[in-house]
Amino acid sequence: MEMQQVRYFVALAGTLNFTRAAERCNVSQPALTRAIQQLEHELGGPLFHRERGNTHLSELGRMMLPYLETVEQSARAAREQARAVRKLERATLKIGAMCTIGPQLVAELMVRFQAAHPEVEVSVIDGGAPSMIAKLEKGELEIAIVGVPEELPESFHQLPIFEEHFVILLPPNHRLTAKNPVHAADLDKEPYVSRSNCEVFEPVRQALLARGIAMRQVFSSPRDDWVQGMIKAGLGLGFFPEFCVTDPDLVVRPLVEPSFSRTIYLATVRGRPHSPSVGAFVQEARRYPWPATRLAA
């Protein structure tokens, strides 16, 4: 059964006139008649009784009408939806963002994109880097904003959007506030409040251990606001990307010898067909005034 056969049948059932049905479908009457005959052959019986001046549905035709009307309406709705998506109307864009990226950066980009493309519905999912990468590979996300110490899979196209250094966060009365910058050696045996979703935690820990530097973890949370609250309360110091610091009462100090940084990428799956909304978002991200690191390399 072909879609044009369904369309011709519905038109003929509505007009009960071969000439008017052919005009409605913009085909010749013989072409419409042949298509109806082929459909009758497939369904195993006449769909119309053809009498001089009186064409009407057969019993089989009346039974088939609601089913084929549904098929024709669904096909028309699918075509309209496809046209709307091509024009960025009623499109949905699914974006993943690592939860360790400063929310204000992502929020401001979303506001700019929505202002430029109000017809696109944006859905943002946050989570750890492994989760974002897996969802992107499976097609559950169209774009991901990620940055990990290791290389992303070869299957990803990566657009670097900004770089940030990691800093030490201190409560105002901490002894290390007198140091600017803070040297890694100063951190040895210091109580440490951990961001449990920090994607660089293990590489940094190994780098510090290789220098004989070991901090004492006293608290861990996946929520940056909780971690910053514990630092502010004096529980210990923290290790944060510079653009993720949101509490103005905390003291921020550069970390040196060694220092650590990360690059944040806009990632898509290489070679995968993308909707126009993806292209529009990438262009908006290219124009967005991403922050520049305030710290020396």
The answer to whether position 279 is within a domain reads yes
Q: Exposed (0-12), middle (13-18) or buried (19+): which is 103, by Cβ within 10 Å?
A: middle
Are 200 and 250 found together in one domain?
Answer: yes
158: Cβ contacts below 8 Å, ≥ 6 apart: 152, 265, 266, 267
Are 129 and 268 found together in one domain?
Answer: yes
Mean of all residue pLDDT scores within the chain: 88
Q: How far apart are CA 185 and CA 235, in angstroms?
A: 20
The pLDDT value given to residue 90: 55
Are 120 and 174 found together in one domain?
Answer: no
Give the burial string for 222-238 (b: 16+ CB within 10 Å, else e): eebeebbebbbeebbbb
Are 157 and 96 found together in one domain?
Answer: yes
**Peptide bond preceding 171: is omega within 30 degrees of 0, i.e. cis?**
no
Nearest to 233 by CA among 245, 244, 247, 223: 247
The answer to whether position 29 is within a domain reads yes
Given a cut of 80, whether residue 78 has pLDDT beyond it is no
Report, as an integer, the average pLDDT of 232-254. Answer: 93
Report, as an integer, the average pLDDT of 278-289. Answer: 90
Nearest to 194 by CA among 239, 235, 156: 239
Give the residue numbers spanning the domain of 50.
3-84
Are 119 and 235 found together in one domain?
Answer: no
Q: What does pTM read for this prediction?
A: 0.65
Given a cut of 70, whether residue 94 has pLDDT beyond it is yes
Are 44 and 168 found together in one domain?
Answer: no
CATH code for the domain of 143:
3.40.190.10
Q: How far apart are CA 88 and CA 165, in angstroms?
A: 37
The answer to whether position 295 is within a domain reads no
CA triple 152-157-158, angle to 5 deg: 65
Are 169 and 283 found together in one domain?
Answer: no
Are 257 and 168 found together in one domain?
Answer: yes
Are 51 and 182 found together in one domain?
Answer: no
Query: What sections of the chain are H helices per DSSP?
Result: 3-15, 18-25, 29-43, 59-86, 103-116, 129-138, 201-209, 224-232, 276-287
The answer to whether position 199 is within a domain reads yes
Look at residues 39, 59, 84 and tell me which one is the last residue of a structural domain: 84
Look at residues 84, 107, 140 and tell me which one is the last residue of a structural domain: 84
The pLDDT value given to residue 228: 95
The answer to whether position 139 is within a domain reads yes
Are 114 and 71 found together in one domain?
Answer: no
The answer to whether position 297 is within a domain reads no
The pLDDT value given to residue 105: 84
Cβ atoms of 163 and 291 within 8 Å: the answer is no
DSSP 46-101: -SEEEETTEEEE-HHHHHHHHHHHHHHHHHHHHHHHHHHHHTTSSEEEEEEEETTS
The answer to whether position 227 is within a domain reads yes
Q: How many structural domains is the chain composed of?
A: 3
CA distance to 14, 56, 287, per residue, from 20 (Å): 10, 14, 54
Are 280 and 141 found together in one domain?
Answer: yes
Look at residues 52, 84, 116 and tell me which one is the last residue of a structural domain: 84
The answer to whether position 145 is within a domain reads yes
Are 120 and 250 found together in one domain?
Answer: no
The pLDDT value given to residue 121: 86
User: Phi, psi (5° rounding) for residue 95?
Assistant: -120, 140
Residue 143 binned pLDDT confidence (cut-offs 50, 70, 90): very high
Given a cut of 60, whether residue 296 has pLDDT beyond it is no
